[in-house]
Structure 1
Amino acid sequence: MRIGLIRHGETDWNATGLLQGATDIPLNSRGLDQANDAAGLLVGQGWSHLYSSPLSRARTTAEIIGQGTGLGAPTLLPGIIERSFGELEGQKYWMPDGTRRPLDHPSIEPTGVVVERSLAAIADVAAAHPDEDSLVVCHGSVIRLVLTSILGAQAPHIGNLALSILRPGADGGLIVTLLNGYPLVPTP
């Protein structure tokens, strides 16, 4: 069993460096092209099921992948919706001095809540398809926080349409075998 986590294609807010969060921003033309390209690369790779966040940028990406791979329409998975950035949504994520905006505002969804709900949704997918491979199209912050939780170390920025793959580990938990498109050697 593999669970592939894929970030949605580009939006205008991605391109201009704005925090999107739960704001429902559609794909731009580049994002649509990226989704079509990803679908072509995923054909014949053994994926059996397709899930998506309900936000349109992820759902549209998943629909394009589903059509291009023959997986059909995605099943919506609300537990993997993007982290809410509260009052900071629509704000630049880079400060004028070049540093990343601090995400400590009280209106932002806490990291622990995002990880808990996302891992629960991923566990539901794994339980529904223990012997098959599933793709989950979601969001950069969700993927990065899930990977950080599993790895026990800070995961890198997740690019649009980057694929990360989770597999069951010997201890019953999940291990990361592909991180943001880069293979990882499982630790014994």
Structure 2
Amino acid sequence: MPADRIHLVRHGEVFNPEGVLYGRLPHFGLSDLGKRMARAAADDLVSRGRPVTGLFSSPLQRARESAQPISAAFGLEPQIDERIIEPTNAFEGTRMRGPGGSLRKPANWRYLVNPWKPSWGEAFSSVTARMLAAMNDARHSVESGDVAMVSHQLPIWVTHLVITGRRPAHDPRQRRCALSSITSFEWHDGRFVEVGYTDPGAPIAADATDVGAV
């Protein structure tokens, strides 16, 4: 029997004092608050009383660090899956707004011509395809129990949109995918169905200074 449920877990707050869009850049790990958020996500999974028998993580540092409390809670070795990584982004390493921000520079406006693709990075269709493939493989990686997959806001959100029958193009300001949130899915009648969303980091999120890249 494959997994009973797949949990897409977003990483916790990143230490990002310069406020840059970090994307796939290395060395962007969790802040102290982000580590508390990651523990809150692990505690939420434990509180459900459901066995988590598989654990996957994006290769990026913030995701691997967010997987550690889940690993400790369930005695699992995280497996790295490149398919659940953050998408590419032409603005990576820059500050988006404010004085000197990338959006103020005419040379960068060419990246904004089609926000519905989006023109600044990996197409939404590509992101959802790799996420769904990774989820399906993860579902078959265990004989029973749940699987947790630690990923990033945009991949989780566009996957949610596609699974719930909507187009992946969206307004980034409308995403429901908070730091260390958990979006859960089950397999029914040949497809994934969303069965829940929790925000275990909410009680401490007011202190967050970095809520992630758009």
Tell me if both proteins adopt one fold, taking TM over 0.5 as the criterion. yes
- The counterpart of 2:192, out of the listed 146, 154, 174, is 174
**Which residue of 2 is the match for residue 120 of structure 1?**
133
Are 2:131 and 2:155, in contact at CA under 8 Å, matched by a contact in 1?
A: yes
**Which residue of 1 is the match for residue 15 of structure 2?**
12
* CA offset digits 1:89-147 (Å, max 9, x no partner): 13445689xxxx95566451111111111111111101222532100011111100111
Secondary structure class of the residue paired with 1:166: strand
Count matched residues.
175
Secondary structure class of the residue paired with 1:59: helix
More RCO (CA 8 Å, sep 6+) = 2
- Larger gyration radius, structure 1 or structure 2: 2
In 1: Cα distance, 2:59 partner to 2:6 partner: 18
In 2: Cα distance, 1:125 partner to 1:136 partner: 8
- The counterpart of 1:79, out of the listed 58, 79, 83, is 83
Sequence identity percentage: 28
In 2: Cα distance, 1:94 partner to 1:180 partner: 30
Cα separation, partners in 2 of 1:95 and 1:173, compared to 1, 3 Å: farther
Runs ≥4 in structure 1, deviation > 6 angstroms?
none
- The counterpart of 1:58, out of the listed 50, 63, 73, is 63
Cα separation, partners in 2 of 1:92 and 1:144, compared to 1, 3 Å: farther
In structure 2, stretches of 5+ residues that fail to align are: 100-110, 201-214
In 2: Cα distance, 1:141 partner to 1:54 partner: 16
User: RMSD across aligned C-alpha pairs, in angstroms?
Assistant: 2.7
- The counterpart of 1:21, out of the listed 9, 14, 23, is 23
Are 1:49 and 1:71, in contact at CA under 8 Å, matched by a contact in 2?
A: no
**Which residue of 1 is the match for residue 205 of structure 2?**
none
